[in-house]
Amino acid sequence: MKFCANCGSAVTRRVPPGDSVPRAVCDACGSIHYVNPKLVVGSIPQWESKLLLCRRAIEPRYGYWTLPAGFMENSETAGEAAARETLEEAGAKVDITEAFSMVSVPYVNQVHLFFRARLLALDFAPGVESLEVALFDESEIPWKDIAFRTVGMTLRHWFADRARGAFGFHAEDLR
Amino acid sequence: MKFCANCGSAVTRRVPPGDSVPRAVCDACGSIHYVNPKLVVGSIPQWESKLLLCRRAIEPRYGYWTLPAGFMENSETAGEAAARETLEEAGAKVDITEAFSMVSVPYVNQVHLFFRARLLALDFAPGVESLEVALFDESEIPWKDIAFRTVGMTLRHWFADRARGAFGFHAEDLR
């Protein structure tokens, strides 16, 4: 059973009038509780020929490598979210430059968004959600130990774009 | 006062351990209720030299013109959301082609995302949220009666990109 966040009464799950999707509806106070996909936003921090990755200290995918990323918060822009997550997870200060990749992941109700970023200094250090943080040349990327498919896709696009000398924007879906 | 959706107890607003943002926390069952920005996704339906706009039949901005767009739902991709909203608001079938613009709007906790789209037929008709639906040449766009700034920005980028013969991806923030 679920409850209304506004009045504490039990809610029922049904399609409200004029809607097409079942929602948690409160008959006591009339509230309709919408649940929508979340944005996971991160950066691709570059230092010369290398990219920065974090090894995860939390589940899911404990011990695997990822780009710094996390849930976008209210009251921030997507670029601010990317910079904040990079600082929190990698202790790394970056300039966010361009939006680079966007992947819809409908089976977890998420959209993943990555920005290109310029790493500003080498004083990075793992935050509480990371075991270690390191810079990798393309030949050193731990492809078999990447935490999430969206991160692997983004890294492959990044190296391919760098090889052709032009960075684009890459929108895709994962199923 | 707010209540826990999982157990119906009153929640308190505070920063949970290890977090940096105040959340609605339930001391009775331990739930933490996160609220994150929402994605508003739409299309830019093109028919020959014209774009399709809808005149809003709902608040906010009743009577003003907009691109078809709305809140992305769980279990769909961003492109599917754009096509669904276009069908719901304009009765218009489209092929979604490329992601075109993304605007963070932190003061309403939203990210707006628009896709280029090919209008497949001229049998469009207003849905319940639209007063009318029409095709506009660049010279006919009702610039003073556009509902939302993100729509105006997107339309200006679209016509500028068409004029230079190359469509890009445009990421911006609104404050």
pLDDT of residue B113: 98
Confidence tier at B20 by pLDDT (50, 70, 90): confident
B41 forms bridges with which residues in the sheet?
Answer: B70, B113
Of the candidates B72, B169, B173, which has its C-beta nearest A77's C-beta?
Answer: B173
Confidence tier at A135 by pLDDT (50, 70, 90): very high
pLDDT above 90 (res A103): yes
| Residue of A23, A34, A74, A102 best to disrupt the B interface, most CBs of B under 10 A | A74
What residues contact A142, with CB distance under 8 A and at least 6 apart? A53, A65, A136
| Residue of B111, B116, B167 best to disrupt the A interface, most CBs of A under 10 A | B111
Confidence tier at B19 by pLDDT (50, 70, 90): confident
Which residues in B lie closer than 8 A to residue A2 (C-beta atoms)? 5-6
pLDDT above 90 (res B21): no
| Residue A69 contacts B where some CB pair is shorter than 8 Å | no
In the block, residue with structure tokens 């719901």: B88
* 3-state DSSP percent of chain A in helix, strand and coil, to 5: 20, 40, 40
Q: Rounded to whole angstroms, how far apart are CA atoms A42 and A82?
A: 4
pLDDT of residue A139: 98
| Residue B142 contacts A where some CB pair is shorter than 8 Å | no
pLDDT of residue B81: 98
Which residues in B lie closer than 8 A to residue A72 (C-beta atoms)? 36-37, 111
Confidence tier at B44 by pLDDT (50, 70, 90): very high
| Residue A17 contacts B where some CB pair is shorter than 8 Å | no
Confidence tier at B47 by pLDDT (50, 70, 90): very high
Is B126 or A18 the better-scoring residue by pLDDT?
A: B126
Give tens-digit pLDDT for A35-44. 999 999 999 9
Give per-residue burial for B19-31: e unless 16+ CB within 10 Å, then b. Answer: eeeebbbbeeeeb
